[in-house]
């Protein structure tokens, strides 16, 4: 399983994390989403996950991706 971490701006609470998690979990191939509100990091786990679809899901939730970094395969 691969994972990718995104830095997201505008999150301030658990509701923010829940909104992002709900939207990103709808992206095909995503198996798990970890959101760390204080750091603004969103880690997406899954196989063959479309980066553009994840970014679009985060935008749909009302937040902005400010950076993305590929993480090692798990």
Which residues span the domain enclosing 45? 2-70
CATH number for the domain harbouring residue 15? 3.30.70.100
Query: Residue 46, CB half-sphere, CA atoms under 13 Å: how many?
Result: 20
Q: What is the pLDDT of residue 12?
A: 94
Structure tokens at 30: 């995503």
Q: What is the pLDDT of residue 19?
A: 97
Identify the segments of the chain with pLDDT beneath 50: none
Indicate the number of domains in the chain: 1
Predicted TM-score (pTM) above 0.75:
yes
Q: What is the pLDDT of residue 72?
A: 56
For 50-59, write each residue's pLDDT tens digit.
999 999 999 9
């Amino acid at each position: 399983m691969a994972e990718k971490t995104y830095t997201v701006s505008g999150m301030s609470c658990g509701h923010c994390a829940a909104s992002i998690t709900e939207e990103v979990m709808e992206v095909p191939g995503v198996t798990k989403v970890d959101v760390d509100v204080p750091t603004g990091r969103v880690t997406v786990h899954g196989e063959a996950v479309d980066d553009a679809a994840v970014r679009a899901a985060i935008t749909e939730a009302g937040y902005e991706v400010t950076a993305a970094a590929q993480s090692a395969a798990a």
